[in-house]
Amino acid sequence: MKANVNKLSPIQELLTHELEFKYAEAREVLPGIRRIVAPNPSPYTLHGTGTYIIGKNEIAIVDPGPNIEAHIEAILRETNGEKITHILVTHTHADHSPAARPLSKLTGATIMGYGAHGESGGEEGADLNFIPDYTLKDKEIIKGNNWELECIHTPGHTSNHICYDVKGTGAVLTGDHIMGWSTTLVSPPDGNMKDYFNSLEKMLLRDDKFYIPAHGKMIKNPRRFVKALIGHRKMREKQIIKYLSTDHASYIPDLVSKMYPQLDKRLIKAAGRSVLAHLLHIEELGNVKSLKNSKGIGWIVLK
């Protein structure tokens, strides 16, 4: 009996593009948590970035999104009669944090995040202009009038990525660290695969009931989902080692074509950044070596 070559991997079985939403309209995800999807759909954002409204009356906004006037107007319209006191970001990418400053100017809310963006060499989409009014720390508790958030520092996708535990709901806002529709891009130098593995393991130590990502629908089986993500990343590293030679250098474009044979052309560059992140991690573990020559940087597997 032949194996099913089209069989989905454990993480592929869990990912979905489904999401019930209408642009510019807030929808309750759980009591005390509302979502407005920004109108910035793309191969990297799915339907768009989820902006979250936490609490009632005096509220916090998590991931205000891209600086799109219509989206900022939607946030203000959907929270009319309420007071925005805090604006928090999960990380500093152009689809998450740029609307923070204009929204703050309109509302007087305090902008919070885990500092400015880190190293950005080779990375597209970084929001290098983001500077928080208040710098958050891991495990810090931020309280509003009727809500409470705990910061969970989860570097990997970016060095300053934070997830937010919404106390009393069993849910964590996972930003781009864990998404419902796709695996997460890790792009060096600010993105770091070792950090990403460690941050996934950190989430496994928790007992959360739900993950609410910035892209995709709510995840109702957090531990199974994280274990599948870890397994997927380990599978990719085994793939890379398999395709490398001990006697001649291989290059990232060749590895991408072998690892992602049917990939959307718009995602090829991103796949290359992810492969680089894996190679740097495997090199740190002592299993591969980089070689610089006239063709650029090649890689060999060590015996």
Angle (CA) 64-26-69 rounded to 5° is: 45
Instruction: Name the average pLDDT for the chain.
Output: 95
Q: How confident is the model at residue 8 (pLDDT cuts 50, 70, 90)?
A: confident
**pTM score:** 0.95
Q: Which residue has the higher pLDDT, 156 or 3?
A: 156
The domain 10-232 belongs to what CATH superfamily?
Ribonuclease Z/Hydroxyacylglutathione hydrolase-like (3.60.15.10)
Q: Do domains 10-232 and 244-301 have the same CATH topology?
A: no
> Considering only the top CATH level, what class is 244-301?
mainly alpha
Task: Note the pLDDT of residue 5.
Answer: 44
Q: Contact 102/67 with Cβ under 8 angstroms?
A: yes
Q: Sorting pLDDT into bands at 50, 70 and 90, what band is 122?
A: low
Express each pLDDT in 188-222 by its tens digit.
999 999 999 999 999 999 999 999 999 999 999 99
Question: Does position 256 have pLDDT exceeding 50, yes or no?
Answer: yes
So where are the chain's domains?
A: 10-232, 244-301
DSSP sequence for 238-282: HHHHHH--SSS-B-HHHHHHHH-TT--GGGHHHHHHHHHHHHHHH
Given a cut of 50, is residue 143 above it in pLDDT? yes
- Give the whole-angstrom CA distance, residue 125 versus residue 296: 24
Identify the band that residue 6 occupies on the pLDDT scale cut at 50, 70 and 90.
Answer: low
In the numeric block, which tokens belong to residue 140? 């810090």
| Residue 3 pLDDT grade (very low, low, confident, very high; cuts 50, 70, 90) | very low
DSSP conformational letter for 89: -
